[in-house]
Amino acid sequence: QVQLQESGPGLVKPSQTLSLTCTVSGGSISSGSYYWNWIRQPAGKGLEWIGRIYSSGSTNYNPSLKSRVTISVDTSKNHFSLKLSSVTAADTAVYYCARARGGYCSGGNCYSIWVIGSTYYYYMDVWGKGTTVTVSS
Amino acid sequence: QSVLTQPPSVSVAPGQKVTISCSGGSSNIGNNYVSWYQQLPGAAPKLLIYDNNKRPSGISDRFSGSKSGTSATLGITGLQTGDEADYYCGTWDSSLSTYWVFGGGTKLTVL
């Protein structure tokens, strides 16, 4: 059974870069048609999707964070990583990593490949427990 | 402000049924599949419903999902105190950029 575990510094200074890693156990990050996601949740607030990466290295980011976010994958270490630059107190949150399945659907059939401009199916079926990151001097 | 609108809170008596709505538009719910997530207090989110109305293995049939046009609905029957949680809908948005969006979340209280 696949499990995800987030790791990284719990405290980051303003204007610096937040760096987190999500280690995948119980399965290979490059097997199957899975997408690897980062999501965050400020205390008492809702979930915000940060972005995702496929094992090939293809990425998608939340437009509101795109200029500051980099997600990368290291298949040799079976983990993927998040870097968020120029952080402020507003970036203080619990950060989750999650595995997702997805693809496009057409003519009543769905396929586990991504075709731009299609009808998409996508869902996050395995989540890490989350790690709290505080931005403070 | 999320592009997917959910009621902030709902309260229901034990044993009763509740529906939680998720309203969007043609670029998100109207064109893509919806999933729902349950977040118990202090825990990570958990997948409840995928592809609009499918349940993952191990999820009770008390939970159901549906979609019509640009809105989706999560239904829970036979409410238990253990169902008290935050519930989030989510889907892809294909407006200017293609990205995943969550609803603002609904806090379910079982009185």
d(CA A52, CA A101): 11
B37 and A124 in contact by Cβ < 8 A?
yes
Tens of pLDDT, residue by residue over B9-67, are: 999 999 999 999 999 999 999 999 999 999 999 999 999 999 999 999 999 999 999 99
Tens of pLDDT, residue by residue over A6-26, are: 999 999 999 999 999 999 999
Cα nearest neighbour of B86 on chain A: A46
- Asked whether A3 and A21 are in contact (CB, 8 A), the reply is no
DSSP B27: T
d(CA B105, CA B52): 17
The residue type found at A112 is: S
- Put simply, whether A36 touches B (Cβ < 8 Å) is no
Cβ-Cβ contacts under 8 Å, A2 against chain B: none
A120 and B94 in contact by Cβ < 8 A?
yes
Give the distance from residue B111's alpha carbon to the nearest chain A alpha carbon, in angstroms. 21
- Residue A34: which pLDDT band, with cuts at 50, 70 and 90? very high
Tens of pLDDT, residue by residue over A38-56, are: 999 999 999 999 999 998 8
Q: Looking at the DSSP assignment, which residues form a beta bridge with residue A59?
A: A53
Residue-wise DSSP of A63-109: TTTTTTEEEEEETTTTEEEEEE-S--GGG-EEEEEEEEEEEEEETTE
Selected residue of B99, B101, B102, B106 to mutate for chain A interface (largest A Cβ count, 10 A):
B99
Nearest to B100 among A116, A122, A125 (CB): A122
Q: Count how many Cα atoms sit within 13 Å of the Cα of residue A59 in the half-sphere of its side chain.
A: 17
Q: Looking at the DSSP assignment, which residues form a beta bridge with residue A70?
A: A83
